[in-house]
Structure 1
Amino acid sequence: MEDNDSIEDVYEDSVTVQSDPFGSFESFRGYHEEKRQLCRTVVEPAGYDRYVTTSVLLLGEHADCQTTTLAKGVTSKLGSEYTFFEIDSVYNDLMGEEDNIEATLNAARSREPGFVLLTCLDEHGFGEEEYESLRTQIESIQQSHDRVTVVCTAQNQDLDLTTHDSLFEVTIEVPKPGEKFRRGTLNTELERAETAGVIKSTQLDVEALSELDIADLTLQELRTVIKRTVQRRRRASDAEKPTITPSHIQDSIKIVEAERLEESVGSPLFAEDDTDQFEPEIPSVTFDDIGGLRGEKQRLREAVTKPVEYSDTFRQAGYSVGQGILLHGPPGNGKTMLAKAVANDLAYQFLSVKGPELEQPLVGVSEDQLRELFQTAREHAPSVIFFDEFDSLAPSRKTDTPVWKDDLVNTLLSELDGLEPLADVIVMAATNRLNELDDAVLRSGRFDTFIEIPSPSLEEQVEIFAVHIADLPAAEDVTTEWFGSLRLSDLSGADIMAVCRKALEFAVRDFDAGSTQRLVVTRANIQAAVERLRSELQESQWSQGYQ
């Protein structure tokens, strides 16, 4: 670039250049140790003329880690003669492949002393080539003793960063923000609302901050808390600039927590499984998390847990510990969660896949995926493979099935019989259509244990309800006895979970609208949720029949 002064114009969408500091340490609380390290390793050497610190990495493993905030705070400690640059993208949208980093560092060297902040190391486009370019630039700065400090931030220590860690003279690991920073975030957001002219001046003292229950909230959720507080107060107050008290903020905290609980209320029971089929993990679900099904839990322990516990005895007798377990019965009653509980009970890695996910009509693709799944299970043994909607994966070949499905069944049989044994790998499956499975799959030696998971009895419905309502802010009269008196015999376990979730939605709606004084799930909310669920089920059944 011939004219370095034009960098602001050429890269205006991805590079910020200014003479004023980006921020200050005084603008946020906490991080005392990290501030001290930055003062010692960056600010103090800035006065050493040609011997400044050239390259710094602030590394945080979590999105809440305040790497960029700390880096910007450094700028207020540097001299007024500094020019400050921030690069938030590797490439300029308008300039295509032209490298922002090289151009910006050249501009910083021409205007030294300069401070360059790179917040783009986590970008997908920042790879081997970009690291080598950065290394070349930094080594050139060091050799010429230019007064330029490059501070980089990253959330994840990826392979490329690990390979190039020698690039940085100083590396500081930044933890998740402590309580001082998190509570200070509330005051910062209140100041912004005050500056915007939407509330009266409101600052919480240390005592008021300490009384707010924010331990489980992320920084984004804390910002949402203040936003919801401002919205609620402006709706409820006639004043142009309403006041905000700690109790108003605590009410909003309850709303945000409830909304988060609403999103995760299906966990750990009957939740949709979003685990990548080739990324095994030990589930958090235990048998105690599953309401009812006492006999079925005992059968699973006898069929799986005990053989593993006495594996030497079983192997000496010539029996495999990794036998197949088939769970069958109507949908929504806990088959998937029982499989997860087995893996948790044994501390085995869990790999789950739905049968339709392996339905790939392209020749050989489904078979390759299935082989890869079994190979992953062997590599991560001891492990549990769980096939949901098993009838889709192993339909009877006596029916008019596509040829590629027959090939998929043959591959499954080959893996179950295996030239390469399934040592310490337990295969489990679930189906709602037992009579549609291929006979060969059900042969002894492949699946030896069949356990029916029926619809819950009234007693089991009450137990399932108790599991879900325990995590909700329920009214005192919302008891398991009351729920049992409703005689909702047609509800499955999944239906009961959905009722509790919808009841929470109704409770949040009422509280947020100001029609209730407390965020609490009432009997009326539960009954309204039951009616809504049945209405939706009827609409779904009508729609399917219409189609």
Structure 2
Amino acid sequence: MNPAITFAAQARGYAKAAKDLEDRGENERARELYLKAAKLYNDASMMTDEGIDRNTQRDLAEHLFAKAQSLKNPTALSSGKNAHGKKEASNNDESSISKDDVFLKEIPNIGFSDIGGLEQVKEEIRKAIIYPFTHKELYQMYGQKAGEGILLYGPPGCGKTMMAKAAAKECEADFISVKTSSIVSKWVGASEKNVKQVFDIARGGERSIIFFDEIDSIASRRSESEDYAKRVVNELLAQMDGVDTASDNLLVLAATNEPWAIDPALRRPGRFSKLVFVPEPDQDARKAILGIHLRKRPVDSDVDIDALARLTESYSGADLAAICREAADIPLGEALRGGEPRKIRLRDFEAVLKKRKPSIVSWYIEARSAVLKTGEGEVFEEMLKK
């Protein structure tokens, strides 16, 4: 059994035991087991074994960690109220992020060499993120400020998160992945405090990269947001302004499918100064992605990966993974119905491609319309070229 599946099985055991303890009212012991289960699921999510869905393991880790946090002693929460009669967050607020958050920090195991194609995107990231770490003296010599944030944007399923992890690997930095669900809290003032704590945790490391995925959900335009959301954006602005790479060894990345929805103040110099468009995979990238997903599957000699890469223009990385799964399902289904097991043939891919169209075409249409409405067509001109 591969390690990822073993970790997931152990996590299920801890989660079940924790639920039994919780039902008996033994919340502190249950909390400890929920945290252990969350850590194991998170460990499983960082492995590349074919037999496990990494996103599912990550979601389970987050769910169990939230469950553990909810079992904290309720008397630890502040009973004070603010001027509006609402509860303020205390230092022990159930949604606070601490250094013990078991899935906040990770060491990426992929680099740029593991990502096929997209060389222009890689070089943009090197200049904005990696060289400031690896050539700090040169940056200081020429008076260049390193460490201004970078915003990765583009259609869904095209590797923005993978690019961010690869950047952290290339400069040997801790990768602090911040899910927006871990930032937002029901308590007044807690969301802003969580943003601050993320930056405090990162500054405590020797070298760190903070990555905000789907940042548009916590950093939308303040003119269109409620009061609590405006406060989160204000705190993000304050923390970004306070990043000094020379002393903090800290860089900030973010990714979004909707860059036009982000407050423009976050895209000014000194904050997310660099916007990098991550398009759908080019032919080299598609060939590499197909190779990865077919590597452990029985593929017939009539399957030409180069030809498949040409046939799948405008398909995202997520689309390509689904195509490989669905093509494999065809001979698998035949074998389950009593047929002789066979390898995956070219005709299986052709049958799948007749039904599955690129998922990102509609994104380009919606993106073009949204960008033109904002009057920022020149800012996001890359996506308008499609």
CA gap 1:272/1:488 in 2 versus in 1, 3 angstroms: farther
CA gap 1:481/1:412 in 2 versus in 1, 3 angstroms: same
1:534 Cα deviation after fit? 4.4
Using the alignment, how far apart are the partners of 1:484 and 1:419 within structure 2? 42
1:533 Cα deviation after fit? 4.2
1:336 Cα deviation after fit? 0.7
TM-score using structure 2 length? 0.64
CA gap 1:419/1:467 in 2 versus in 1, 3 angstroms: closer
Q: Is the 8 A contact 2:174 2:207 kept in 1?
A: yes
State which of 238, 254, 263 in structure 2 corresponds to 1:429: 254
**1:382 and 2:207 are equivalent in the alignment:** yes
1:314 Cα deviation after fit? 2.0
Q: Give ranges in structure 1 of 5+ residues lacking alignment.
A: 1-60, 66-88, 98-122, 128-155, 157-259, 539-547
Q: Which residue of 2 aligns with 1:510?
A: 334
Q: Which residue of 1 aligns with 2:275?
A: 450
Q: Is the 8 A contact 1:356 1:393 kept in 2?
A: no
Q: Which has the larger displacement, 465-474 or 524-533?
A: 524-533
Q: Which residue of 1 aligns with 2:85?
A: none
Q: Which residue of 1 aligns with 2:236?
A: 412
**1:521 and 2:344 are equivalent in the alignment:** yes
SS at match of 1:477: coil
Q: Is the 8 A contact 2:316 2:359 kept in 1?
A: no
1:285 Cα deviation after fit? 1.7
CA gap 1:272/1:455 in 2 versus in 1, 3 angstroms: farther
1:497 Cα deviation after fit? 1.4
SS at match of 1:476: coil
State which of 36, 39, 52 in structure 2 corresponds to 1:263: 52
**1:321 and 2:146 are equivalent in the alignment:** yes
Using the alignment, how far apart are the partners of 2:359 and 2:126 within structure 1? 37
After superposition, the C-alpha distances for 1:95-154 in whole angstroms (9 at most, x for unaligned) are x89xxxxxxxxxxxxxxxxxxxxxxxxx94799xxxxxxxxxxxxxxxxxxxxxxxxxxx
Q: Which residue of 2 aligns with 1:397?
A: 222
Q: Is the 8 A contact 1:462 1:484 kept in 2?
A: yes
CA gap 1:272/1:414 in 2 versus in 1, 3 angstroms: farther
Q: Which residue of 1 aligns with 2:129?
A: 304
Q: Which residue of 1 aligns with 2:323?
A: 499
Using the alignment, how far apart are the partners of 2:332 and 2:242 within structure 1? 53
State which of 178, 183, 194 in structure 2 corresponds to 1:358: 183
SS at match of 2:187: coil
State which of 260, 263, 277 in structure 2 corresponds to 1:438: 263
SS at match of 2:195: helix
SS at match of 1:448: strand
Q: What is the one-letter code of the residue matched to 1:495?
A: D
CA gap 1:440/1:526 in 2 versus in 1, 3 angstroms: same
SS at match of 1:406: helix
Using the alignment, how far apart are the partners of 1:405 and 1:64 within structure 2? 38
1:317 Cα deviation after fit? 4.5
CA gap 1:425/1:460 in 2 versus in 1, 3 angstroms: same
CA gap 1:341/1:370 in 2 versus in 1, 3 angstroms: same
After superposition, the C-alpha distances for 1:372-428 in whole angstroms (9 at most, x for unaligned) are 2111211233111111112222111233x1010000000101111128877111100
TM-score using structure 1 length? 0.46
Q: Is the 8 A contact 2:148 2:270 kept in 1?
A: yes
Question: Which residues in structure 2 correspond to 1:11-410 (within 5 Å)?
Answer: 124=29, 261-264=50-53, 278=101, 279-355=104-180, 357-399=182-224, 401-410=225-234
CA gap 1:455/1:272 in 2 versus in 1, 3 angstroms: farther
State which of 295, 314, 320 in structure 2 corresponds to 1:470: 295
CA gap 1:369/1:516 in 2 versus in 1, 3 angstroms: farther
RCO comparison, higher one (Cα < 8 Å, 6+):
2
Q: Which residue of 2 aligns with 1:488?
A: 312
Q: Is the 8 A contact 2:221 2:261 kept in 1?
A: yes
1:463 Cα deviation after fit? 3.5
Name the count of aligned residue pairs: 289
Higher helix share: 2
Q: Give ranges in structure 2 of 5+ residues lacking alignment.
A: 1-5, 11-16, 37-48, 63-96, 362-386
Using the alignment, how far apart are the partners of 1:327 and 1:126 within structure 2? 36
Q: Which residue of 2 aligns with 1:165?
A: none
SS at match of 1:385: strand
Q: Is the 8 A contact 2:210 2:252 kept in 1?
A: yes
CA gap 1:359/1:531 in 2 versus in 1, 3 angstroms: farther
Q: Which residue of 2 aligns with 1:115?
A: none
